[in-house]
Amino acid sequence: MKKNSFIILMCLFLINILNAQDFRKNPPAAGPAPKIQLGDYQTFKLDNGLQVIVVENHKLPRVSYNLFVDAGPILEKDIAGAAGFAGDMLSKGTKTRTKSQIDSDIDFIGADLSTSASGFYAACLKKHADKVLTIASDVIINPSFPAEELEKIRKQSISGLASQKDNPNAISSNVGKVLRYGADHPYGEVNTEATLSKITLDNCKNYYNTYFKPNISYLTIVGDITLEEAKKQANKYFSSWKSGEVNKMKFSAPTAPAKAQVAFVQKPGAVQSVVDINYPVDLKPNDPNIIKAMLMNRILGAGGFSARLFQNLREAKGYTYGAYSALNSDLLVGNFSANASVRNTVTDSSITAFLYELNKIRTDKVTDVELNTVKSVTTGSFARSLENPRTIANFALNIARYGLPKDYYATYLEKVSKVTPDEILEMAKKYITPDNAYILVVGNKDEVADKLKKFSPDGIVNFYDFYGNKLVEKAPVATGGMTAQNVIDNYIKAIGGKTSIAKIKDISRNMESEVMGKVMSVEMYQKAPNKSSQVISMAGMTIMKMAFDGEKGKRMAQGQTKDLEGEELEALKSNASLFKELNYFTDKFKVEYKGIDDVDGVEAHKLEVISPEGKKTIEYFDKDSFLKIREVSTQGKGDQTTVITTDLMDYKDVDGIKLPNTIILNGMMPIPLKMVAKSVKVNSNIDDAVFKM
């Protein structure tokens, strides 16, 4: 009997365990939406039409002011970038203040002030509010647009463009915009050196005079301030700002392609591909579907580690560090994007995985677990956002701009809690359309492009440049039986010939580059047969030195000297000879002719060179002159690999030998490093001590 009792108790215990396991299979239903008390905000309007939003928060004696000029989309065409220039220039001087005075006065009181094409942002201690508003209102109402500041902004902007050309994510962003919206749409415009160079002071003034009007603007004030104080400040500093009629530009909304299109941008030497599946969508901020669509996209790819794209491409397959999606709303036209950076070898497999998930969410209902998890995360992030008083100001601005119901955010979590799996499926069918997408890839053409044809219904891969211009496919250029040996032989002849080269015993170069407004000096020394040295200095101080005496190599940086060894030493040894190309067919190099390719509009013979230590470099030689114009190599390993592009130009004769006078390095720094020779000497009898450290 006791034995039977024990068995019964054991069975009951097992049943309880099994029930507990069954319970785990059935997630708890989502509870009711929590009640969250939104902070209060108040609004008023000045006689000139300026709408003011006030959010009181007296925890700290600080206050911030944000002016938003709602100019809407603007098509700038051949002066793309003018609006940005105009916004930057607002704080560069007024009719009574210079840029120096503005900066000094703001810094003295520890305040912040920045301007843009859409207004200004300022923040300060409450006791300095009048001082800050005096300056902020002055830059908005009385800008002077000094000519010298325009040139500074232009120079900085063009320099920024140069750095973006080597950034695959920036390239993807540019080309993606053009694909989705078209180059003749404001959202598809891309700033270029040509458009930035054309911008004049009159263009900047015209933008300001046309759009900077109080009657299309909003001023949000947040912090240690009362409504009465805000009214006094707004009237005192902004009532003199004159209103005026603003005829906003109107544009039609672009639509997604009728069928999937594959677009490719060449990034020579890239070891990774940036994949972006994107298209325009009709989703406005005040659309009744916005909350349901947002939850659907969080399940798909915007929900971090738990999202489907992340779980598939990273956790399950290990293709990438992260795969994500974005579904953006806009009053004119929104957009969808699913993106990741993946290895060359798995680029096509990654796209297959993306398309699998995009199609799956359209056909299969999401689970209760997924939906409830996303609801929980959304509730938490919404609640945390309310800790920042600026959130309430942004809510108020959105309600005013988009015509949202007054209780839109007060009932936000209630709406979230009511979304069902059926509604998620409905949103996916409406907004996730992989059959009508642009499949954009930025990467290594030789290793990736041909594998992408299968994703195009027509079997076509379209190629684009950095600015989104479609490249016309050229007929294969006749190479005339050209070989790697032919190219190198012609290169040797082009720079002076073997006889002249044999007379060169050493080469010294003194080059200069501008880095963040400061002059950097680069001294390069080479001596036969294989000695080399580089010294980089700035303001008279040596920053880095590297020396190779033919056998040993050392590097000095930040006062520390390190002996070079392994691959680093071997690479230095391979590149130390005066004219390494002479060794390509005598040493352990492997050189292969890869045909003719385009280098910034110039046809060039392409060689793949593998050094004795196994390092691959792609070298380009001008098709007509045979001068070397570019080298592309990689530095680092795995996901830490960096592509280094070296452009060689402006060849000049030095004692019978042609040497590049300008060298531009991309990839080693956040911005391109352009080095221009101040002096180049040959056979100056360089002392061997230069190559020791």
Give the tens place of pLDDT for each residue, 597-614. 989 889 999 999 998 888
pLDDT, residue 222, reads 98
Instruction: Give 157-160's long-range contacts (Cβ < 8 A, gap of 24+).
Output: 157/81, 157/84, 157/85, 157/191, 157/196, 158/193, 158/196, 158/197, 159/671, 159/672, 160/671
- What range does the domain containing 164 cover? 42-238
304 shares a domain with 191? no
Q: Is the Cβ–Cβ distance between 213 and 68 less than 8 Å?
A: no
Query: What strand order describes the sheet that includes 323-328?
Result: 323-328, 334-343, 272-281, 438-443, 261-266, 461-464
Instruction: Place 14 in a pLDDT band, splitting at 50, 70 and 90.
Output: very low
Instruction: Place 105 in a pLDDT band, splitting at 50, 70 and 90.
Output: very high
160 shares a domain with 123? yes
| pLDDT(6) > 60 | no
pLDDT, residue 639, reads 67
C-alpha pair distances (Å), 366 with each of 94, 197, 408: 57, 51, 26
Burial class (CB in 10 A: 0-12, 13-18, 19+), 160: middle
pLDDT (mean) for 168-196: 97
State the number of CA atoms in the 13 A half-sphere of 553 facing the CB. 21
Percent composition of the chain: helix, strand, coil (DSSP 3-state, to 5): 40, 30, 30
Return mean pLDDT, the chain.
Answer: 92
pLDDT, residue 34, reads 64
376 shares a domain with 502? no
C-alpha closest to that of 427 among 362, 368, 378: 362
Instruction: Place 166 in a pLDDT band, splitting at 50, 70 and 90.
Output: confident
CB atoms within 10 A of CB 414: 14
pLDDT tens-place string over residues 487-524:
999 999 999 999 999 999 999 999 999 887 789 999 99
Q: Is the Cβ–Cβ distance between 211 and 70 less than 8 Å?
A: no
pLDDT (mean) for 410-433: 98
502 shares a domain with 625? yes
> What string of DSSP letters covers 49-107?
S-EEEEEE--SSSEEEEEEEE-------GGGTTHHHHHHHHGGGBBSS-BHHHHHHHHH
CB atoms within 10 A of CB 98: 14
Least confident of 18-22, 189-193, 313-317, 403-407: 18-22
And the tokens for 432? 């996730």
595 shares a domain with 510? yes
Question: Measured in whole angstroms, how far is the alpha carbon of residue 540 from the centre of its chain?
Answer: 34
Strand 602-610 relative to strand 642-654, pairing: unpaired
User: Is 19 contained in some domain?
Assistant: no
Q: Is the Cβ–Cβ distance between 533 and 508 less than 8 Å?
A: no
| pLDDT(474) > 70 | no
Hey, is 682 helix, strand or coil? strand
User: Is 226 contained in some domain?
Assistant: yes
pLDDT, residue 575, reads 78
| pLDDT(29) > 80 | no
| pLDDT(23) > 70 | no
| pLDDT(18) > 60 | no
Instruction: Place 686 in a pLDDT band, splitting at 50, 70 and 90.
Output: very high
Instruction: Place 475 in a pLDDT band, splitting at 50, 70 and 90.
Output: low
Strand 42-45 relative to strand 560-564, pairing: unpaired
Instruction: Place 4 in a pLDDT band, splitting at 50, 70 and 90.
Output: very low
282 shares a domain with 142? no
Question: Measured in whole angstroms, how far is the alpha carbon of residue 163 from the centre of its chain?
Answer: 10
Least confident of 45-54, 193-202, 547-556, 651-660: 547-556
User: Is 476 contained in some domain?
Assistant: no
The torsion defined by the Cα of 539, 541, 546 and 552, in degrees rounded to 10, comes to: 160
Q: Give the H or E element holding residue 359.
A: helix 347-363
- For residue 73, give every residue at least 6 positions away whose Cβ sits within 8 Å of its Cβ, in sequence order, or none: 186, 187, 249, 251, 332
Give the position of tokens 């002076």.
Answer: 496
Question: Measured in whole angstroms, how far is the alpha carbon of residue 477 from the centre of its chain?
Answer: 34
pLDDT (mean) for 642-662: 94
489 shares a domain with 393? no
Q: What is the CA radius of gyration of the chain?
A: 31
Question: In one letter, which amino acid is 100?
Answer: S
Instruction: Place 10 in a pLDDT band, splitting at 50, 70 and 90.
Output: very low
Q: What percent of the chain has pLDDT over 70?
A: 94
pLDDT, residue 243, reads 98
- For residue 9, give every residue at least 6 positions away whose Cβ sits within 8 Å of its Cβ, in sequence order, or none: none
pLDDT (mean) for 216-241: 98
| pLDDT(431) > 50 | yes
pLDDT, residue 39, reads 82
Q: What is the CATH number of the domain that holds 684?
A: 2.50.20.10
And the tokens for 527? 């001596």
Instruction: Place 5 in a pLDDT band, splitting at 50, 70 and 90.
Output: very low
Q: Is the Cβ–Cβ distance between 199 and 154 less than 8 Å?
A: yes
User: Is 279 contained in some domain?
Assistant: yes
Hey, is 240 helix, strand or coil? coil
pLDDT tens-place string over residues 557-594:
888 899 988 877 887 877 788 999 999 998 789 999 99
Give the domain-ending residue among 404, 433, 464: 464
Q: Is the Cβ–Cβ distance between 262 and 460 less than 8 Å?
A: yes
433 shares a domain with 560? no
Instruction: Place 24 in a pLDDT band, splitting at 50, 70 and 90.
Output: very low
User: Is 432 contained in some domain?
Assistant: yes
pTM above 0.75, yes or no: yes
pLDDT, residue 31, reads 57
C-alpha closest to that of 529 among 555, 547, 556, 502: 502
546 shares a domain with 512? yes
273 shares a domain with 220? no
500 shares a domain with 407? no
Q: How many structural domains does the chain have?
A: 3
Q: Is the Cβ–Cβ distance between 376 and 31 less than 8 Å?
A: no
Instruction: Place 17 in a pLDDT band, splitting at 50, 70 and 90.
Output: very low
Instruction: Place 476 in a pLDDT band, splitting at 50, 70 and 90.
Output: low
Rounded Cα distance between 465 and 175, Å, is: 8
User: Is 33 contained in some domain?
Assistant: no
User: Is 514 contained in some domain?
Assistant: yes
Give the domain-ending residue among 464, 496, 526: 464
The torsion defined by the Cα of 680, 685, 687 and 690, in degrees rounded to 10, comes to: 20
Question: In one letter, which amino acid is 673?
Answer: L
Strand 272-281 relative to strand 217-223, pairing: unpaired
Q: What is the CATH number of the domain that holds 299?
A: 3.30.830.10
415 shares a domain with 370? yes
Give the domain-ending residue among 464, 499, 530: 464
Rounded Cα distance between 461 and 261, Å, is: 8
Least confident of 134-138, 479-483, 518-522: 479-483
Hey, is 218 helix, strand or coil? strand
Instruction: Place 413 in a pLDDT band, splitting at 50, 70 and 90.
Output: very high
User: Is 549 contained in some domain?
Assistant: yes
Rounded Cα distance between 564 and 572, Å, is: 9
Rounded Cα distance between 523 and 548, Å, is: 14
| pLDDT(8) > 80 | no
